[in-house]
Amino acid sequence: MAANPSPRPRAETATFRVDAATVTGDIGTAVAGNTIDWDNESGSQVSIEVQAVNAKYPFAVNTFNIPAGLSHTSTVLANTPTNNYPYGRNGSAGIGHIVVGQVMPKRGK
């Protein structure tokens, strides 16, 4: 065994921060318990809608409005299946995906 083994994957959750008014493309890879902070840095309200995949959603609230200058935090639910969940802004569908992956198991568990 090496004196300095490779580090283990980080077990704590990461936070993703996006500008809800301009974000496009993929957000993630997120796992259960991770958060996405949707900051609205524009001068008007922004609406976000996350679509289901196989009748499953990644968040408890998947359609929400964010007033100008405020934010909304979404937390990935514990039993969210691994997948790419499309999201849209202000009625435009499919501008990106919430990418949900799997939690790496801890060794010895």
Confidence of residue 9 (pLDDT cuts 50, 70, 90): low
Contact 59, 77 (CB under 8 A): yes
pLDDT in tens, 44-54: 999 999 999 99
Q: Does residue 39 sit within a domain?
A: yes
Place of tokens 């083994």: 5
The CATH number linked to 78 is: 2.60.40.420
The predicted pLDDT at position 12 comes to 53
Identify whether 15 is preceded by a cis peptide bond (ω within 30 of 0): no
Instruction: Measure the CA–CA gap between 15 and 29, rounded to whole angstroms.
Output: 11
Q: Is the dihedral of CA 102, 22, 72, 47 positive or negative?
A: negative
What's the mean per-residue pLDDT of the chain?
89
Q: Return the H-helix or E-strand segment holding 25.
A: strand 25-30
Q: Does residue 6 sit within a domain?
A: no
Q: Does residue 35 sit within a domain?
A: yes
User: Which of 28-37, 82-91, 99-108 has the least mean pLDDT?
Assistant: 99-108
> Which range marks the domain in which residue 41 is found?
15-100
Strand order in the sheet with 25-30: 25-30, 92-100, 83-89, 46-50, 63-66
Confidence of residue 4 (pLDDT cuts 50, 70, 90): low
